[in-house]
Amino acid sequence: MVSFSGPFLWETLQTCPRPIWLYGMGNGAEKLLQQCRERGIKVTGVFASDGFVRGQTFMGYTVKTLSQAEEISPDLTVLLAFGSSLPEVMERIDAISRRHPLYAPDLPLFGGEVWDRGYYEAHRSELEAAYQLLGDDQSRLVFDNLVRYRLSGDLSYLAACETPREEIYRLLDIGDEDYFDLGAYDGDTVREVLAFTGNRLRSVTAVEPDPKNAAKLLRRMPQFSSDPSFTLVQAAVWRESGRMRFDAAAGRSASLAEDGKSEVGCLTIDEIVGKGKCTFLKMDVEGAEEAALLGAKNLLKAQRPKLLFSAYHRSGDLFALPELLHRIEPSYRLYLRHQPYYPAWEVNFCARAD
């Protein structure tokens, strides 16, 4: 595994001689500003893409365009405060990075500590153990580059280890499957897998807790209302069944949350599959991946389906999830892939049992 000795992002920013500007607004920018304040890092201003600037203020800053920010601070340093997989947006970010030093701090989406020198040193042994579980050279490259990126904020590490989404399906040899999609949103991944397999899936079960997202799925995929091989389960996935607080305000990122304004029913994966058959299981459950795996012990041991699950929602997912899967069912061979996205919000483990 990579041995990282710096420069560490937060230490770099604490001693940065250039004016620091945030690029972007919203929840990510709020979290980033809070981190900067806690670490004694002065932020000079906030800028956004030209089409989003209307003279508004954000967290006490008047939002500028990049050209306006450059007039104020010609030698500025940029902190990226939002995420995107759109090629034109990623190219815009790359273009800015060619003009100014640009960093993309990695902040956990759903909990955990920020990756810094202390976090890295505290989890070195766990990172090493997870690295040893990886099944090929590309996985090890992705792992190394993710660690480097999270500690440095340098996006070039992500660009150097990207592969297209379809490569995961080829790696898992996806074909005639009984497919369970957990965190189905509006059916986007179901449609993606159907397209990849040429509509050869034997059955599809979509699990989505948010009523609005479930309604979108039914509108966009009428098969779930008319075809008995397509099943929609409106529930969240957890380590045990019951009811929990739920935050539906985030749309695509709707998630279980202690301060959620509504409640949702929770089921385990073992309960959802029941006596049925599952050959391919995808989990993108907004930070509940660890709990979901814990609720799938019977399935993982008895049927050992192909797996695809997110590895970026919580700070420790990169090392905690591989260790947990290996503990539940050690026959799985584990792979790690990163699809194009700034910052590292499309990082996924995939696994097949030997």
Helix (H) or strand (E) holding 272, with range, is helix 269-273
Looking at the fold, whether 111 and 174 belong to one and the same domain comes out as no
Dihedral angle over CA of 302, 317, 324, 244, nearest 10 = -70
Tally of domains within the chain: 2
pLDDT value, residue 255: 53
CA distance 245 to 101: 41
Size (the chain), residues = 354
Amino acid letter, residue 144: D
**What is the DSSP annotation of 108-142?**
-SSS----SHHHHHHTHHHHHHHHHTB-SHHHHHH
In a domain, 239, yes or no: yes
Looking at the fold, whether 202 and 78 belong to one and the same domain comes out as no
In a domain, 87, yes or no: yes
Q: List Cβ<8 Å contacts ≥24 apart for 214-223.
A: 216/185, 216/186, 216/187, 217/184, 217/185, 217/186, 217/187, 217/190, 220/186, 220/187, 220/191, 221/187, 221/190, 221/191
Flag residues of the chain having pLDDT under 50.
Answer: none
The three-class DSSP label of residue 176 is coil
pLDDT value, residue 249: 63
In a domain, 247, yes or no: yes
| DSSP secondary structure letter of residue 64 | B
Residue 62's beta-bridge partner residues? 57
In a domain, 132, yes or no: no
Looking at the fold, whether 120 and 170 belong to one and the same domain comes out as no
pLDDT value, residue 243: 87
Dihedral angle over CA of 263, 264, 268, 273, nearest 10 = 170
Residue pair 151/9 in contact by the 8 Å Cβ criterion:
yes
Residue pair 245/258 in contact by the 8 Å Cβ criterion:
yes
In a domain, 298, yes or no: yes
Looking at the fold, whether 171 and 299 belong to one and the same domain comes out as yes
CA distance 332 to 323: 11
Looking at the fold, whether 218 and 288 belong to one and the same domain comes out as yes
pLDDT value, residue 112: 81
For the full predicted model, state whether its pTM sits above 0.75: yes
The three-class DSSP label of residue 221 is coil
Q: For the domain that residue 183 is a member of, what is the CATH number?
A: 3.40.50.150
Burial of 314 (0-12, 13-18, 19+ CB in 10 A): buried
Q: Which residues contact 76 (CB under 8 A, 6 or more apart)?
A: 18, 19, 20, 21, 44, 69, 70, 100
Looking at the fold, whether 252 and 194 belong to one and the same domain comes out as yes
Pairing relationship of beta strands 347-353 and 332-338 according to DSSP bridges: antiparallel
Residue 35: give the domain boundaries.
Answer: 9-127
